[in-house]
Structure 1
Amino acid sequence: MPQSLARMRPVYVVGVGWHRYQPLSDTPYPALGLAAVRGALADAGVEWPAVESAYMATALLPMAPGRPMLRHLGATGLPIVHIENASASGSAAFRQACMEVASGCSDLVLAVGVDKPTGGPVARGEQACGIDHLADDAIVPFTHFALLADQYAQRWGVSHDDIARVAVKNHGNGAKNPFAQRQQARTLEEVLGGRAVSGRLTTLQCTPVGEGAAAVIVASEDAIRRLGIGADKPIRVTGSAARSQRVYDEPTRFDANLTAETTQLAIAESGLRADQFDIVELHDAFTVEEVEYVEAMGMCKPGQAVPLLKEGAWDIGGRCAVNPSGGLIAMGHPIGPTGLGQIGEITLQLRGAAGARQHAGAKTGLAHMVGVGAVCYVHTLQRD
């Protein structure tokens, strides 16, 4: 049987840090990343020389940007691995860091994500193979999700206005998050009245792509004892799963199908049920994704996500706080850091240290990211 995180030695998140997600600025990427790393080191109460290995997630920067950034902390000679996996880059880096600690290869590992938009084209697989995609100009991501929103509304008899309530909730959460790119609460009228992007989607129902950084430090029990890390810091990683896209019976809903498969694997490792999670941070680049994914994860029955949304089940203080950070819609989506920022938010929530956006009594959390529909990562965390 393949090894899973549950069969290896325990892994804990002990430090988290961010540089605020923000629109493109003149700030160089090393300054963004170092702010997050230093924040995570300070949070864990450890010094840089104690870090034995580093994984750096980025999707938009030139090759091997980690060394020019991390050298400012000290040239310790630690191994650095660079990871690019589209929107799931940070989640992939976190999984590799966890596996390195769980396997016993290292005791204290850094995963950091940092990105800045370059303004250049994003290569597609078809273009890399020298084959043009005939629908590139017609079926861009926001059009795909606008069509999915139409499909969802028709399938379950809900309105587009109801789906837009996801953005109202997440903008409200982002207004309480000092690291969020969007920090202004919005009414439903404001969300619906924004500039049209595609179909019924408006700008306030779509994620902004900016710059920023997030960092997470993971540790073994040995490192926690040896380094004297405070008992209030460690949050255990109880499950980790990664999958790539297959051929599905519903080809337009490949993201939801991939999410269902990956979530099932991670939840099985955690020993919990989907409806037992207190905090869920999921990939909500567009409002319809949140309602699709909470159903795909098994958090509610198909067609029930919107009624539960309207009842406040997914609010902070509701049945399960979904995207208390503000999600991609309000927290932002710098790409490389995004998955790591989700882990950071869940860690704060499970420590009871999320401030104004704290979900009372939170003990369990789940983080979910997809990368252009091709890959999916799901992690589960729990307070011991």
Structure 2
Amino acid sequence: MARTLKDLRPVYVVGVGWHRYQNPSDTPYVTLGVTAIREALADARITWPSAESAYVATALLGMASGRPMLRHLGATGIPLSHVENASASGSTAFRQACIEVASGLTDVSLAVGVDKRNPVRRDSTGMDNLAEDAIAQFTHFSLLTNEYAHRHKVSFEDIARVAVKNHRNGAKNRNAQRQQERSLDEVLGGKKVAGSLTALQCTPIGEGAAAAIVASEDGIKRLGIDPGRAIRVIGSTARSERVYAAGLGFDAVLTKETTEIALQEAQVSPQDLDIIELHDAFTVEELHYIENIGLCPEGQGVHLLKDGALDIGGRCAVNPSGGLIAMGHPIGPTGIGQIGEITLQLRGEAGARQHPKARTGLAHMVGVGAVCYVHLLQRP
């Protein structure tokens, strides 16, 4: 029988750090990545030689991009692995670091994500900072928005409230790319992208970095890390898409399958979740995913949203970081940044974004619809 992360020795997040997610700039990616790593080391209160392995997540930088970053920290000879898995690259790197520590191969491992890209200007539309395939993506999710609104008899305005919530959260996050609250009128009145979708309902193109350090109990004791700030990783599940029946949204079905396995392995129910950080590149995705995570029945996500149940201080804070819509989605760092936000929340260190009495959090990412990663973290 296959073993799960919870069957192995306990693994904990002991340090997290970021370089703020930002619009494309002249900042070298090495500066982005090293900034995040150093912040994570300082957060854990350890030095670079304590790290015994490193996983570097990127989707855009090309071959062996971790080497120029890590050499600035010191040539310690540790194993270095590069990970590319589309939007789930960071989530994949984090899972590999957790598996290595949980298996006993190492006591301390680093997962860092970093990416940057050049903006693409589309003179025919006047839209800046769009990925090469952005129009196809916008069209796809615009059609999903139309389908969701029609099937569940909700308005485009109701769906846009996801963006209002997430911009409000991002305004309280010093690491977010978008740090401005937006009214519903501002969200709806923004630049049209496709169908009912406006630019403020979509993730921006940007750059940045995020890092997380994971450690075993032995590593925590040996290095004198404060165990009171260590957050346990109680579940890690990864799946890829299968052949689904016609008419089913593959991202949503894959999310449902992956989350059900993760929750079962960790012996946690959706009702136990205090924090959820999920892949909301477009507003409708958040509704699809909270329903398939099991937070509410299909079609009821808008009602939770309008009732404030998904707000910080509500039933379950969904994307308190600002999510991909406001925090941003540099790609390589995104999944690791989610882990960082949940860690802050479960420690009670999230400041103005703090969700009261947070104990259990779930991080979710999909990668081009082909893969899905779900991690569960819990305050001991």
Per the normalisation by structure 1, the TM-score is 0.94
Indicate if the aligned counterparts of 2:24 and 2:118 stay in contact, CA closer than 8 A: no
Change (3 A) 1:300 1:137: closer
In 2, Cα distance between the equivalents of 1:95 and 1:346? Answer: 15
Indicate if the aligned counterparts of 2:279 and 2:364 stay in contact, CA closer than 8 A: yes
State the SS of the aligned residue for 1:17.
strand
Matched ranges for 1:114-193 at <5 A? 114-118=114-118, 140-193=136-189
Partner of 2:238: 242
Q: How big is the shift at 1:231?
A: 2.4
Indicate if the aligned counterparts of 2:233 and 2:377 stay in contact, CA closer than 8 A: yes
State the SS of the aligned residue for 1:376.
strand
Q: How big is the shift at 1:100?
A: 0.2
Q: How big is the shift at 1:118?
A: 3.8
Indicate if the aligned counterparts of 2:18 and 2:337 stay in contact, CA closer than 8 A: yes
Q: Deviations over 1:153-201 (max 9, x none)?
A: 1111000000000000000000000000000000000000000001100
Change (3 A) 1:137 1:4: closer
- Say whether residues 1:334 and 2:313 are aligned partners: no
Partner of 2:296: 300
Select the residue among 366, 369, 372 that pairs with 2:365: 369
Select the residue among 203, 207, 227 that pairs with 1:207: 203
Partner of 1:223: 219
State the SS of the aligned residue for 2:26.
coil
State the superposition RMSD in angstroms: 1.3
Return the letter of the residue paired with 1:276: D
In 2, Cα distance between the equivalents of 1:118 and 1:174? Answer: 23
Indicate if the aligned counterparts of 1:13 and 1:347 stay in contact, CA closer than 8 A: yes
In 1, Cα distance between the equivalents of 2:199 and 2:134? Answer: 18
Partner of 1:81: 81
Q: Deviations over 1:96-115 (max 9, x none)?
A: 00000010000000000000
In 2, Cα distance between the equivalents of 1:143 and 1:7? Answer: 43
In 2, Cα distance between the equivalents of 1:201 and 1:150? Answer: 10
In 2, Cα distance between the equivalents of 1:250 and 1:208? Answer: 31
Partner of 1:317: 313
Return the letter of the residue paired with 1:46: I
State the SS of the aligned residue for 1:73.
coil
- Say whether residues 1:91 and 2:87 are aligned partners: no
In 1, Cα distance between the equivalents of 2:110 and 2:133? Answer: 39
In 2, Cα distance between the equivalents of 1:62 and 1:93? Answer: 16
Alignment length, in residue pairs? 369
In 2, Cα distance between the equivalents of 1:149 and 1:365? Answer: 27
**Relative to structure 2, which stretch is displaced further, 224-233 or 31-40?**
224-233
Matched ranges for 1:338-357 at <5 A? 338-357=334-353
In 2, Cα distance between the equivalents of 1:252 and 1:141? Answer: 17
| Structure 1 runs of 4+ with >4 Å offset | 136-139
Return the letter of the residue paired with 1:10: P
Q: How big is the shift at 1:250?
A: 4.2
In 2, Cα distance between the equivalents of 1:374 and 1:226? Answer: 40
In 1, Cα distance between the equivalents of 2:169 and 2:204? Answer: 15
Q: How big is the shift at 1:219?
A: 0.2
In 2, Cα distance between the equivalents of 1:301 and 1:275? Answer: 12
Q: How big is the shift at 1:232?
A: 2.5
**Relative to structure 2, which stretch is displaced further, 252-261 or 319-328?**
252-261
Q: How big is the shift at 1:209?
A: 1.6
Identity value in percent: 70
Partner of 1:102: 102
Indicate if the aligned counterparts of 1:59 and 1:85 stay in contact, CA closer than 8 A: yes
Change (3 A) 1:222 1:156: same
Matched ranges for 1:212-291 at <5 A? 212-251=208-247, 253-291=249-287
Partner of 1:125: none
In 1, Cα distance between the equivalents of 2:355 and 2:367? Answer: 28
Unaligned runs of 5+ in 2: 121-131
Per the normalisation by structure 2, the TM-score is 0.95
In 2, Cα distance between the equivalents of 1:232 and 1:102? Answer: 19
